[in-house]
Amino acid sequence: TQMAEPGVDVTMWCQHSLHGSGSIFWIKQTSNSVPQCVACKNHKSKNCYFFTPNNRTVMSVNDKNASLTITVVDPTDSGLYYCSLLLNDKITFSNTTYLHVKEKTQRHEADIVSYAALHFSNKKSYRTHRPAEVMDPHVLYSSIQH
């Protein structure tokens, strides 16, 4: 399993024994879906004639390894990826990598705190006070000395 944060680039690797006129495929599969080809190159490292690459996937092939880079991953890129080799009408599957792209975390605003600056004077107040039984239990009062 390969974990990734949204927005980063991810590279996966597989070993192969491609020679002659074969092709290498990168395939993605998610639960309840059919496998989907996400990249394909032939033995000359050219894109397969029947495949149009996605602008966020980059596949590289050398003598013994193939890589798949997905740029700016997002949670929809999560799934099981595997490499396959088509050579002489035979398909060979390589190792698998499960890519898990984390969901974007939503930041919750902190509890809102309301405050008021108070100015006390020596004048007498003629207001009547609320009875104690009417006080709101969710109101918090504080005092500060200086």
Report pLDDT for 138: 59
- How does strand 2-4 pair with strand 90-101? parallel
Give the predicted TM-score (pTM) of the model.
0.67
Widest pairwise Cα distance in the chain: 101
- What residue type is 94 in one-letter code? S
Q: Which residue, among 9, 135, 30, has the nearest Cα to 82 in the 3D structure?
A: 30
Report mean pLDDT in 10-residue bins for the chain, 146 residues.
94 86 92 91 81 88 91 96 91 91 69 57 62 58 59
Fold of 2-101: Immunoglobulin-like (2.60.40)
Report pLDDT for 72: 96
Cα 95 from Cα 28, distance rounded (Å): 12
Report pLDDT for 77: 95
Report pLDDT for 137: 59
